[in-house]
Chains A and B, each alone.
Chain A
Amino acid sequence: MKQTVSAWSLSSWLVATALAMPVVALAWFAWVPESHSWLHLKETVLADYISHSLWLSVGVALGTFLIGVSTAWLTTMYRFPFSRFFQWALLLPMAMPAYIIAFTYTGMLDPAGPLQFHLRELMGWEYGSYWFPSVTHVGGAITMLSLVLYPYVYLLSRASFLEQSLCVLDVGRTLGLGPFQRFFRIALPLARPGIVAGVSIAVMETLADYGTVKYFGISTFTTGIFRTWFGLDDPAGAARLSGLLLGFVFIALTIERYSRSRQRFHHTSQRHQALTAKPLRGLPATLAAIACALPLLLGFIIPISQLGLWAAESWHSIDAHFLTLSWNSLWVAATAAVVATALAAILVYGLRLHPQWPQRLAVRSAGLGYAIPGTVIAVGVMIPAGQFDHWLNQHWPTAIGAAPGLVLSGTFIALIFAYCLRFMAVSLQALESGMGRIKPNIDEAANSLGARRWRILQALHLPMLRGSLLTALLLVFVDVLKELPATLVMRPFDFNTLAVRAFELASDERLAEAALPSVAIVLTGLLPVLLLSRSIARSRHGADGKPLHTTQNATPIPTELDRL
């Protein structure tokens, strides 16, 4: 018995330590003396990086707040044409990676693009004789990121609104508050923790974004890290920049955590009475429908249609090369999903057996990777991996034979490891919520019936966790498929994935060809979003005052927001 105890703790500590390595490596660089190129960087472009990243963060925070909160309030409180459809459809932009929507709009709005071409035909304008909006600037990047990141705010604030008992709003009514006052003086302050958490996640994703800002040519932290490493060949400088970026991310993370921890104190009414949505008619109904339709159109329907058109044009370009790409993406994502889920299972099961603070710390720190931008993870993994390979080859005993060459850096081992680090929180969250629903007295009941630990694991836990395991696999799979910056840096020589290829083609202005892999990514990305919308559609019964439908077998889909 004692031995199994230490085996579980030991393995979960090993996993947690391995996953913490990159951050430790980055922290170590803070003590390395400042290099010449770093000093140069500090004098010239660092201010740009900081100000651009900050502007983007502020802009996206505002954008996602406006879109997310307004649509959440409308769909929770009112009935209007298509309001039920919007309840779940508003999540669809989540499936659209920011870099894909960015190049789609760039291509669409380009003077040579379809929109301007048809406009010129129609109106008889001359090229260059009229003003036309473009997106390739900070404001455009803010718009693009807001359009795909607002679902985080939508989801969390909607959940907050739904949790608010109707009682508090009714109290407002009896005290003479009109609908707008009820929103601004009761509902909004009550939902504040949820909203702040959603906005913080959007900001973290913004800071992590590489594809969009690179494509638009905006210098931020992430593009700076790439440039410093590959352009200036200064890994130490890149590590320093990464550390600085981590600082900003952790500010957002702390705000998110803090507001999340306050959320549970906001239930004032013991009795929960579900909200009954109020039907709207006439002009207000039309306006509400338009307000919800706009983000959906701009964030998903228009770009996916354009991508579909382009993809149809380049259909013939599906060749052996494209199939190799798809196959590469598939197996690398599948491997990462399996490994990340297995590691998460070790951690979560260790926590169930020993629910004390060391184990909890191990699980929490293993889950922090989701807050760390892919670029930073790449730097954090590549540096120690390179040093390990260097050390190994130097100390390789000649008696054994030729030196092994690169074991970690530039190999799949490092790449899969980076994916696991980045997306561990996803699989952890799925498994933890599943494990949490297996109450401890299930184990005790089995115990009293004579079952030992392995039988409990095999006969009870595994079958009861099946849904959560599948969810974890699916979520990590899709996230890896969409991942861009870490793959870009860490992929082995001559190895390409759909995401990388889409980005490369788009950067070469070969948008039609880029559309094909992009459509593949977006369609796969729809899977978890549809699962999520299904669970929302189910919870809608509660919103209509009907009893909540709960079965013991239903596997709740962990939302993206629960990941952190």
Chain B
Amino acid sequence: MNVKNTSSQLQVRSLSVQLGGQAILKGIDFSLEAGEIGCLLGPSGCGKTTLLRTIAGFEAPSAGNIQLGDHNVSDKQRQVPVEKRKVGMVFQDFALFPHLSVAQNIRFGLKGWPRQQAQQRVDELLSLIGLASHAEHRPHELSGGQQQRVAVARALAPKPDILLLDEPFSSMDKTLREQLTDSVRQIIKGEGVTALMVTHDQHEAFAMADRVGVMKAGELHQWDTPYRLYHQPDSRFVAHFVGRGTFIHGELNASGQLDTAIGELPVASLPSTHNGVFDVLIRPDDIIHDDQSPWCAKVRSRHFQGAHFLYTLELDSDESVLCFAPSHHNHMIGECIGIRHDAKHVVVFSR
């Protein structure tokens, strides 16, 4: 663990934070490679914003260390103050300086740069965010999405070692949010900067991030790619929090597969200690609606989502599974419909 990975841009080791005598973060460990976008995901109050603010230097940790590029910015001996840390921060409400123009906002962090170079940098960022024609506007004359981009550009201007974003899209409506995650991702990738974002919205996290950390009650449950978080959750909480799904009962049989109420399922890997009885995670995409199938389940509730229905189905064992079906498969509550499983490898947790 102590061997330094030279390509890691951000390394957080055994980080704990206490605020007002309360443990907010407990032994957080993760690292982010240069140029990657990371995302901290979790319900409100899980400590994700505190983690971001501790990396920025606004909060002091009680234990552990933070390494940014080649520098130790926070350990037992010393805390580098925020203004010396070379972090760019985008705030939830943007915190643009209301009395300064867009260009002046972006230029604020370029104090000490030669005039010409600073001007060039500002122009570069203005065209990157597509607001070159708004350089002299004041923040209040811009739309929410434009303000957001200015906030990102302002944070990027001094070429920080890392860009931190605190719930940057939470104040926007859904459509704008989807557009913006896309354009902000492009801006960040265009600059090639390493970024860490906080959100409680998994769609946002999946759309933006190369790596996602799922947090709960001050602990980092899993730090992984979005794909693995969904398909190979490490804990019941992650399985529950990321994506939809239900648990059904499964028993290991002689051929090393699981006997369940929807048939025999292949298992990816088994916990080191087990008694042969498991909770099996079934995602809605593991179940396929097939009128020809001999397996039948009763519709308990249905949720029309336009392109498809999300059915909650009751198995003979009284367990339930979720299933997407094309929206022309219009079945009534109480009706029995044919299903089959399409699970290549299922995730299990010991009972």
Contact = CB atoms under 8 A, between A and B. Distances in A.
Contacts of A455: 111
Contact of B87 (A448, A451, A460): A448
Interface residues of B, number: 28
Contact of A448 (B83, B98, B111): B83
Contact of B89 (A448, A451, A452, A552): A448
Contacts of A464: 97-99
Contact of B97 (A442, A444, A447, A551): A442
A109 interface: no
Given A451-B108, A451-B111, A441 B140 contact: no
A123 interface: no
B158 interface: yes
Nearest to A460: B97
Contacts of A463: 99
Interface in A430-479: 439, 441-442, 444-452, 455, 459-460, 463-464
Nearest to A452: B83
Contact of A442 (B57, B82, B87, B95): B95
Name the residue among A445, A452, A464, A553 with the largest chain B CB count within 10 angstroms: A445
A527 to B, nearest CB: 24
A442 B88 CA distance: 13
A463 B98 CA distance: 10
B140 A444 contact: no
A464 B138 CA distance: 13
Q: Considering residues B85, B89, B92, B139, which has the most beta carbons from chain A within 10 angstroms of its beta carbon?
A: B89
Contacts of A553: 98-99, 138, 140
A460 to B, nearest CB: 6
Nearest to B88: A448
Contacts of A552: 98, 138-140
Contact of A551 (B82, B140, B164): B140
Interface in A200-252: none
Q: Interface extent on A, as a size class?
A: 20 to 34
A450 B99 contact: no
B58 A444 contact: yes
A83 B159 CA distance: 58
A446 B83 CA distance: 8
Contacts of B95: 439, 441-442, 444-445
Nearest to A464: B99
A268 to B, nearest CB: 26
B93 interface: yes
A460 B58 CA distance: 19
Given A446-B108, A448-B155, A552-B140, A441 B91 contact: yes
B341 interface: no
Interface string B187-224: 00000000000000000000000000000000000000
A373 B38 CA distance: 62
A445 B139 CA distance: 15
5 contacts: A441-B91, A441-B95, A448-B155, A451-B109, A464-B99
Interface of B: 56-58, 82-85, 87-89, 91-93, 95, 97-99, 108-109, 111, 138-140, 154-155, 157-158, 164
Given A449-B158, A464-B97, 11 more contacts: A441-B93, A442-B97, A444-B89, A444-B95, A445-B95, A450-B84, A450-B158, A460-B99, A464-B98, A464-B99, A553-B99
